[in-house]
Amino acid sequence: MENLEIQPKSVKMTHLSWPIIWWTLMFALAYSVIRYHLMGGVPWKDFPFFILNKAISLSALILLAINFTLGPLKNLGVGISNRWMKSRRLVGIVGFIQVFIHVFMSFILFKPAIYPKYFEEAGTITLMVGLSLLGGVLGFVFLWMYNVSFNSNFRNDKDLLKFITSRKVLLIAMLFTGGHLFFIGINGWLNPAGWHGGMPPISLVGFTFFLVGYIINLAGRKDK
Ligand code: HEM
């Protein structure tokens, strides 16, 4: 790192994306391991997929919240350095890639044997899970639209491009994602006695990041 300090032109020094991404992932991993394996007694054999899916989804949510909250925070007068501001793009892209991984992993895992609480006896999903998955799918689609807009020939359609990159799309995507977390988690949130080691469920940790980020956005976003 020291070497990079004396090279002002180095791209690496102009942003903090990788440390932000790394420490966010480490936090999400540590939280998941402590809550589910150490406090909750989930067998370690479930780490590589079931628990990793939770950690990746939490990491994705925090990265997306960082991506869309730094600008509004700065507008509100909070001193955010340029290195943080310049990290937003890569942090958002990696957040989106992690959502992608979460979606793939969730599709593979989504069975009554793995998530008995999400299914009724007849094998159909509960209302809350249906609402949650609807939020997840719509959140994912809007996030996708937002990402794709930077790379495709949507560029030729000025109005569409203006809408998709206005970041309103990101706000819509995050709102659906908030719904996804609310409906999947609300029953567990209301039962603190069942929280492993007193630690809130990952859906609630994620929802808190979403809510704080969203409020900051509503207060500080300029292109409303
Ligand atoms: C097609 C879209 C999606 C599907 C099918 C989906 C599926 C799921 C499933 C099945 C769970 C429960 C996981 C568990 O209890 O272990 C879950 C939780 C979660 N999802 Fe999604 N999801 C989608 C989109 C998203 C998006 C866009 C985000 C944004 C980052 C997201 C973030 C989360 C988080 C943070 C949790 C909480 C994990 C937990 O409580 O353990 N999901 N999702």
Ligand 1 contact, 110 CB (< 6 A): yes
Ligand 1 contact, 102 CB (< 6 A): yes
pLDDT at position 170: 85
Domain range for 68: 2-220
Query: Whose CA is closest to atom 32 on ligand 1?
Result: 57
**H helix or E strand, kind and range, residue 35:** none
pLDDT at position 2: 41
Query: Whose CA is closest to atom 22 on ligand 1?
Result: 136
Ligand 1 contact, 154 CB (< 6 A): no
Query: Whose CA is closest to atom 14 on ligand 1?
Result: 54
Closest-CA residue to 66 (of 35, 56, 74, 12): 74
Task: Look at residue 64 and tell me whether its pLDDT is greater than 60.
Answer: yes
Read off the CATH number of the domain in which 122 is found.
1.20.120
pLDDT at position 102: 98
Task: Look at residue 181 and tell me whether its pLDDT is greater than 80.
Answer: yes
Task: Give the predicted TM-score (pTM) of the model.
Answer: 0.88
What total number of domains does the chain contain? 1
pLDDT at position 1: 41
Task: Look at residue 154 and tell me whether its pLDDT is greater than 70.
Answer: no
pLDDT in tens, 102-124: 999 999 999 999 999 999 999 99
Contact 128, 190 (CB under 8 A): no
Who's near 2: CB < 8 A, 6+ residues apart? none
Query: Whose CA is closest to atom 42 on ligand 1?
Result: 136
Ligand 1 contact, 88 CB (< 6 A): no
Contact 133, 125 (CB under 8 A): yes
Query: Whose CA is closest to atom 8 on ligand 1?
Result: 106
Which residue's entry shows tokens 């007694």?
A: 41
Query: Whose CA is closest to atom 25 on ligand 1?
Result: 136
Take residue 122 and report the two structure tokens written for it: 């007849």
CA–CA separation, 85 vs 149, rounded Å? 20
Residue of 35, 49, 98, 102 to mutate, ligand 1, most atoms within 8 A of C-beta? 102
User: Within 10 A of 91 (CB to CB), how many other CB atoms are there?
Assistant: 26
pLDDT at position 3: 45
CA of 68 to the centre of ligand 1 (A): 19
User: Within 10 A of 163 (CB to CB), how many other CB atoms are there?
Assistant: 14
Greater pLDDT, 12 or 14: 14
Ligand 1 contact, 142 CB (< 6 A): no
Residue 152 has phi, psi (to 5 degrees) of: -120, -175
pLDDT at position 29: 98
DSSP 51: I
Q: Average per-residue pLDDT in the chain?
A: 90
CA–CA separation, 63 vs 147, rounded Å? 14
